[in-house]
Amino acid sequence: MKYYLDELASTEIARAGRLAGLDIVSSHEAGRDGTSDEVQLLFAAAEGRCFVTQNYRDLRRLTVAFHERNLPHFGVLFLPRGAVTRHLVGLIVEALKLHDQQHPAGVAAYSESFLKL
């Protein structure tokens, strides 16, 4: 499974995730910081990546809109609010590894799930 971290998530998570064997990239690494959530979600879909964010309210609304407009979507994975801190990077990466093992072929289009730390 491939992951795309929005700009609210740490590039440190992406680096640690790759060291742990995950296919993961951050918005910052992709040069996409500062773009709208919709553009970010379109980019993630074009790359075949599940969008990882803490922004439940906006991404929930966008997921519904993408489904209604039949736009490409490779799922959204929500991080717990406030989880993106330096001391939780290891826990987030371990939770992503478990999620990856549970979904080796990816998740259903327009799916939304919550990462459990």
What is the DSSP secondary-structure string of 29-87? TTT-TTS-HHHHHHHHHHTT-EEEES-HHHHHHHHHHHHHTT-----EEEPPTT--SGG
The predicted structure's pLDDT at residue 80: 86
- Can you tell me the distance from the alpha carbon of 2 to that of 23, in angstroms, rounded to the nearest whole number? 5
The predicted structure's pLDDT at residue 32: 94
The predicted structure's pLDDT at residue 81: 79
Domain count, the chain: 1
- Can you tell me the distance from the alpha carbon of 8 to that of 76, in angstroms, rounded to the nearest whole number? 14
The predicted structure's pLDDT at residue 8: 81
- Can you tell me the distance from the alpha carbon of 88 to that of 4, in angstroms, rounded to the nearest whole number? 18
The CATH number for 105's domain is 3.40.50
Residue type (1 letter), 23: D
Domain limits for position 18 = 2-114
Smallest Cα–Cα separation from 33: which of 58, 4, 62? 4
Reduce the DSSP state of residue 5 to 3 states and report it: strand
pLDDT tens sequence for the chain (117 residues): 999 999 888 789 999 999 999 999 999 999 999 999 999 999 999 999 999 999 999 999 999 999 999 999 999 999 987 777 767 899 999 999 999 999 989 899 999 999 988
